[in-house]
Structure formats: structure tokens, C-alpha cells
Amino acid sequence: MYVFMIIAVILVCVVALIGTLLVGKEVSTKQKQYEVEGDSLKDEIARSHEYETKSLKTNVKSLTWIYIGLTVLVVATSIGIMIFF
């Protein structure tokens, strides 16, 4: 019984890590795109403002849903295993 729970927790952690890395990769891609576009002070300020406003709405929201979903999955799996065994 405990082996199944340990495997489930490890799988959930791996899925959470992959989701987090995907969000980080998206941010990194945007930063590289900004570097290619130009270096003027006005552009940098505009990008900084855009990042501060949009990043919190999209990245934090994505990460929140990833971890909420995985938490629900872990709880449901744990309850299912306890009922089954």
C-alpha cells in the first residue's frame, strides 16, 4: 500500500516539476525575444511594465492551477488507495 502512495507522490512531483519548467521556459523565450527586438530605454521600460502586469496574471495563474490540480490528484489517489486497501 505504501509503495503505491510513494509512487503516486513521486509521479505528482515530476508532473509539477515539468509544468513549472514549461512556464519558466515560456518566460525565458519571451526574454530572449525582447533582447532581439531592441535595447532602447523606452522599449525596456515598456517591456518591464508589460512583464510586471501580464506575468503575474498568466504565469502565477498557470502555476497555481498546476499545483491545485496536482494536490487534488494526490488527495484523490490517497483516498482511493486507502479505500481499496
pLDDT digits (tens, 9 = 90+) for 42-71: 877 887 788 778 777 777 888 888 888 888
pTM higher than 0.85 for the full model?
A: no
How many Å is the Cα radius of gyration of the chain? 19
Size of the chain, expressed as the number of residues it contains: 85
**What is the pLDDT at residue 1?**
63
End-to-end CA distance of the chain: 7
**What is the pLDDT at residue 83?**
83
What is the average pLDDT value for the chain, to the nearest integer? 81
